[in-house]
Amino acid sequence: MSRVDELVVELAPTGVRFYALGDVAAYSSTRVDASELDERTFVGVDNLLPNKAGKTNASHLPNTARLTAYEQGDVLVGNIRPYLRKAWLADGRGGCSGDVLAIRIADGFVDRLTPEFLYLLLSSDDFFAYSGRHAKGGKMPRGSKSAILRYRVPVPPLAVQREVVRVLNTFTALEAELEAELEAELEARRRQYAYYRDELMSFREARGLRWMILSELYESSSGLSKSADQFGFGHPFLSFKDVFNNPVVPSELSALVNTTESEQVRFSIKAGDVFVTRTSEDLEGLGMSCAALEDYPKATFNGFTKRLRPRRPGEIEPSYAAYFFRSSPFRVQVASMAVRSTRVSLNDDILGRIRIAVPSLVEQRRIVSILDKFYALVNDLSVGLPAELKARRQQYEYYRDKLLTFKEAVA
């Protein structure tokens, strides 16, 4: 029997009392001036991280004068697309956008419910599944604020709450240490993958190989620029971060933007397109690319990126382009030709002069087949080290859910 079980038997032998969330907590009713906030204290739904990973600093400040205020100990929950599981236990004061729920323990329960325990309840899979079932909307489901207040939560004795938090914090620390070891091994594998990718792209003895300048293969276009108040709703948007982090355009883009039909046509994303970052603070972020392997209806791409659209579809495989544009033969040219001033940048003339290796389609497909397998071993969550990382996280979720499950007291 665990210490948690012992405490429950001792302190709640007939079971634990359950309440509607609205009985023990409420949405923040206080307000804060936008002028008092900065990128650290403003929390928009886009800088709450998925899978309960906390938050990052905001990339833009609010566009309204007054916002909902949050206090230390409030639980902030992203209310758009509940399946993204965005939650954060506030460690200070600030303000949040309308799509972030700031949930504060009611005065009558301050001495009966700890913020840390409430956070565990409101970041559980059960809570997000409940919110998802009551959400409304198609592409942008939004949780029902009234239904969320009806969500039933257990309130065990404080000693039980604190022991649950202690156990899970200990488990989290151990997991972090184990994951750090696995991440180090995974990083070594990724470097090995990059080495073999660059070797395959060196083409020392390839037959039928042509080196063509980029302007012969692609038409270059700049991306969409919008004011900050047009983001966070609307249609899918390929962000700078999406391009930087992914060799292939993700199936689900990380951002939304309000766009017109004409903008969706002008800044469209179609199979075969390659997106290249055109400006950055350093060379590491310049010339990073991702390729679209399918069409993305109504999606647009960001203004810090160039879209390269094939002039003759079928001449270069999209998957091959995804690998080549991330390889050293491409990256070395970017570094040598970049314009250096306050920021480093690429223009259409520079991009157009970069040389692209174009072997036969048969050879392109052979290279893709090899690299697909290697890439999967490094990145696919169903195999290898990524699978082990995923298993450890699932193990944590299992114990978390088990520790948050209580027998309900009979009224």
Q: What is the pLDDT of residue 293?
A: 93
Q: Of 296, 251, 256, 252, nearest to 272 (Cα)?
A: 296
Band of residue 410 on the pLDDT scale cut at 50, 70, 90 = confident
Q: What is the pLDDT of residue 227?
A: 86
Q: For the chain, what is the total number of helices (H) and then of strands (E)?
A: 14, 22
Model confidence pLDDT, tens digit, residues 81-137: 888 899 999 999 999 999 999 999 999 999 999 999 999 999 998 999 999 899 887
Cα of first residue to Cα of last residue in the chain, in angstroms, is 26
Query: For residue 233, what are its two tokens?
Result: 């709703």
* Distance in angstroms (rounded) separating the CA atoms of residues 380 and 189: 13
At residue 241, the 3 state secondary structure works out as helix
Per the model's pLDDT, the better-predicted residue between 393 and 23 turns out to be 23
Q: What is the pLDDT of residue 13?
A: 85
Model confidence pLDDT, tens digit, residues 353-370: 999 999 989 889 988 998
Per the model's pLDDT, the better-predicted residue between 130 and 388 turns out to be 130
Q: What is the pLDDT of residue 139?
A: 56
**Domains detected in the chain:** 17-155 (3.90.220.20), 210-358 (3.90.220.20)
For the chain, what is the mean pLDDT? 88
Residues with Cβ within 8 Å of 331's Cβ and at least 6 positions away in sequence, in order, are 287
143 neighbors 130 (Cβ within 8 angstroms): no
Q: What is the pLDDT of residue 8?
A: 79
* Distance in angstroms (rounded) separating the CA atoms of residues 295 and 121: 39
Q: What is the pLDDT of residue 79?
A: 92
288 neighbors 302 (Cβ within 8 angstroms): no
Q: What is the mean pLDDT of residues 239-253?
A: 89
Residues with Cβ within 8 Å of 298's Cβ and at least 6 positions away in sequence, in order, are 235, 236, 259, 264
Poorest-pLDDT segment among 233-247, 323-337, 369-383:
369-383
Residues with Cβ within 8 Å of 365's Cβ and at least 6 positions away in sequence, in order, are 317, 320
Band of residue 284 on the pLDDT scale cut at 50, 70, 90 = confident
